[in-house]
Structure 1
Amino acid sequence: MDLNKTFSAVQYASRKLLALNDEKINQILLAVADAAEKRTDFILAENRKDLDRMDISNPKYDRLKLTADRLKGIADDIRKVAKLPSPVGRVQKQAVMPNGLKIKRVSVPFGVIGIIYEARPNVSFDVFSLCLKSGNACILKGGSDADASNRAIISVIHDVLKQFGADLHVVELLPSNREATAALLHANGYVDLIIPRGSSNLINFVRQNATIPVIETGAGICHTFFDRYGDVKKGAAIVNNAKTRRVSVCNALDCLLVDGDRMKDLPALCAPLQESNVIIYADTLAYASLQGHYPAELLKEATEEDFGTEFLDYKLAVKVVEGIDSAIAHIQQYGSKHSECIVTEDKEHADWFCREVDAACVYVNAPTSFTDGAQFGLGAEIGISTQKLHARGPMALEEITTYKWIIEGEGQIRK
């Protein structure tokens, strides 16, 4: 599939964006937010076409589903992005050298960012708002599962761009087929950065096949460790919220680790999960502790495969560990470096956990469900990076800019 003309048009649009001032960008974003709410019926009708093609039991179904409330939340996030200061043109460092050269480092857009994502139509709005605010043009490659939803959203955005006389190629939606994915992954000279959002299979495929730089937004295999000094009331609420608030997202809890000294508190920690019919896959000790205290039809014996699994469903692995060192070792072996939590009233253990656990986000007495750009005050997010180069954790405006050095002289010559 020859998409080079499209890629070239987006690249040209990215250069034109540099001349667009922040006031005009904010006006466009606010107009897009208003349009998202005004055209809710249209967007939901197109989203329904996608939903009708998907099995409701599919873990992707909840991510695919849009509602009036979710669209309002998306619109509110766009408005928050508009209120944030521009990340472009910030002087990060500056100095005058002994020879009189004036040197400064200034934040600039990447240029063209490609996003490959699955059944997550909200990404279309989120990525556009963050990219426009940071001066980037974006190329979206959504999955076939959400194609009608994505096309509806981009048509709404394009209608707003037309009103402002802006280049429509600042956001481009590619066909949903595999050929378009391959073309985007090899769009050298046109695309500056690729960010995949989706399953571990998608992320691994992009990382292994792209010939342009990639920032991984990894799968979320998230743990909560209930320490020997943990508070049961806090722990039960944290576990329940992390698991059941929204099971299909990457910050949802997948494994509860409990210190062996507190095994007697396991039934109380898991009790609220019954209301959501959460299936527990418990190791031998946890199973013995929960048996008779948790519904038998929801209690299963864990297998090795249950640890290290991102369930994206009302399912949870539970394991009893011998102290904080064992908990950290388990997380090191099975975690995805996304979000990890300790429930403890002991500051030494809290500090120990935060220091030793290798993850983008580490929590003390708060659920992993907070790993989200909006919750971190970033307006929205383009993804949760689990790698260590350039960006880590929720990626928003600052994380999708880079920098360049500007050097001013008066005719100095290097000897």
Structure 2
Amino acid sequence: MTVSTEKVNVEEQAKLAKKAAKTLSILTTEEKNEALLTLADTLDNGYETILKANEEDLKLGHEKGYDEAFIDRLTLTKERIEEFAQGLRDVAKLDDPTGIVQSDWTLDNGLNVQQITVPLGVIGMIYEARPNVTVDATGLALKSGNAIVLKGGSSAITSNKAIVEVIHQGLEKTKIPKEAVQFIASTDRAATQQLFTMKEHIDVLIPRGGGSLIKAVVNNATVPVLETGVGNCHLYIDVDADVQKALAILVNAKTDRPAVCNAIETVIVHQDWLEANKVALIETLKQNDINVHGDDTIVEMIPGAVPANEGDWANEYLSKDIAIKTEANVTDAIEHIELYGTKHSESIITENKKTAEIFMKLVDAAALYHNASTRFTDGSALGFGAEIGISTQKLHARGPMGLPALTTIKYLMHGNGQIR
């Protein structure tokens, strides 16, 4: 079976999105919210069309031998589509991030200056086999007054195309032009490359997916990129860690949803804590079917552990595999994270506040935790509402990117004939 694609004019789609963004920028909050609620109802009513399209992608995925985690991300059900719709309703409840006066002052000459939030304009979203991103990104873009050009991975192209067709049906009943949501229905890499370079039409690119995808966008794009991060997240168990806290957090952060970016991939253990608590650690790993790749100490101590190579310390397993490293102190743990981490989410388990403070100050990451699971690096979990991704860069936005991250600022000056 082959995926059918169509010849697309990416530049024309981007132009249409840019034109639609102008209309979006002047809509009221109420009009945008009404549109999102309409889209939610349209998704609920159009689930059969989407599921039929998803069957084609799943058939192809099985034929190509995609792994279980990949198939799970690709699979849609009536319940999942209902969750997509509810997500749009939740976004409609969030505060509008645009038109907010950040600061307001008047100069000595009487000129009034305001700094306000405004939409970015047109967002280019490049992502892999996650049909939910099609809906999530659309909802966040429209609520923040942005048009969006979507480029999903080839493995979900039929599902994504059906989702966008349903979205367009819904938008036709609203004040938002359907051209505000564009989907590049092609598996041709040239279409993606073209999206990278249309700086005159696209205001920002957001890649969401594996390391190779993100690297390709960052290295090749001339359009500004909001970089979302690969999650090689670490858990450091300090010598002063509470045993029950440490083991419970390890299990949650590794096994709750192993294939997400905020799951831990490496555990760094203080050698003295390990010696005192090795029996409890071994039993916990065994009970939860966690496969261990370890250094020499770990391989000798833990039954079934395999020797970790250099790649294991940098690997985002996205499974129930984990790398375990022993270190002598927090400084060594920080150095390991600095060498192999991806600046996403890192956690320390310790009852020593001074050690925790050192860790929190010196580790360079978007999200840091003391005695808590890295699984909280998520827009909804942290109370932001929905998110478009987790930014691991330092400019414009960092961490879970909710609605405010999809805005920029504009200065408005009101005068009465002032000249300089």
Q: What is the rounded CA distance, in whole Å, between the counterparts of 1:323 and 1:14 in structure 2?
A: 53
**Which of residues 354, 366, 371 is equivalent to 1:365?**
371
- 1:8-407 matches, within 5 Å, as 8-54=15-61, 55-57=65-67, 59-164=69-174, 166-177=176-187, 178-264=189-275, 265-269=277-281, 271-291=283-303, 296=304, 299-407=305-413
Query: Does structure 1 conserve the Cα–Cα contact (< 8 Å) formed by 2:161 and 2:185?
Result: no
Q: Secondary structure at the match of 1:403?
A: strand
Alignment coverage as a number of residue pairs? 408
Structure 1 pair 350–72 and aligned structure 2 pair: CA distance change class (3 A): farther
Structure 1 pair 270–143 and aligned structure 2 pair: CA distance change class (3 A): farther
Query: Does structure 2 conserve the Cα–Cα contact (< 8 Å) formed by 1:78 and 1:379?
Result: no
Q: Cα offset for 1:347?
A: 1.4
TM-score norm. by structure 1 comes to 0.94
Q: Give % identity.
A: 43
Q: Cα offset for 1:61?
A: 2.4
Q: What is the rounded CA distance, in whole Å, between the counterparts of 1:96 and 1:335 in structure 2?
A: 46
TM-score norm. by structure 2 comes to 0.93
Structure 1 pair 266–399 and aligned structure 2 pair: CA distance change class (3 A): farther
Measured on the aligned residues, the alpha-carbon RMSD in Å equals 1.6
Q: Cα offset for 1:42?
A: 3.2
Query: Does structure 2 conserve the Cα–Cα contact (< 8 Å) formed by 1:40 and 1:71?
Result: yes
Q: Secondary structure at the match of 1:53?
A: helix
Query: Does structure 2 conserve the Cα–Cα contact (< 8 Å) formed by 1:267 and 1:289?
Result: no
Structure 1 pair 304–125 and aligned structure 2 pair: CA distance change class (3 A): same
Query: Does structure 1 conserve the Cα–Cα contact (< 8 Å) formed by 2:23 and 2:176?
Result: no
Find runs of 4+ consecutive structure 1 residues off by over 4 angstroms. Answer: none
Q: Cα offset for 1:34?
A: 3.0
Deviations 1:202-238 (A, max 9, x none): 1111111111111110211000011111111111111
Q: 1:7 aligned to 2:14? A: yes
Deviations 1:95-149 (A, max 9, x none): 1111111001000001100001111111101100100000000000001001111
- Aligned twin of 2:5: none
Structure 1 pair 376–72 and aligned structure 2 pair: CA distance change class (3 A): farther
**Letter of the 1:152 counterpart:** A
Deviations 1:299-319 (A, max 9, x none): 212112110111112210001
Q: What is the rounded CA distance, in whole Å, between the counterparts of 2:374 and 2:269 in structure 1?
A: 16
Q: Cα offset for 1:36?
A: 2.9
Q: Cα offset for 1:263?
A: 0.9
Structure 1 pair 84–254 and aligned structure 2 pair: CA distance change class (3 A): same
Q: What is the rounded CA distance, in whole Å, between the counterparts of 2:21 and 2:307 in structure 1?
A: 54
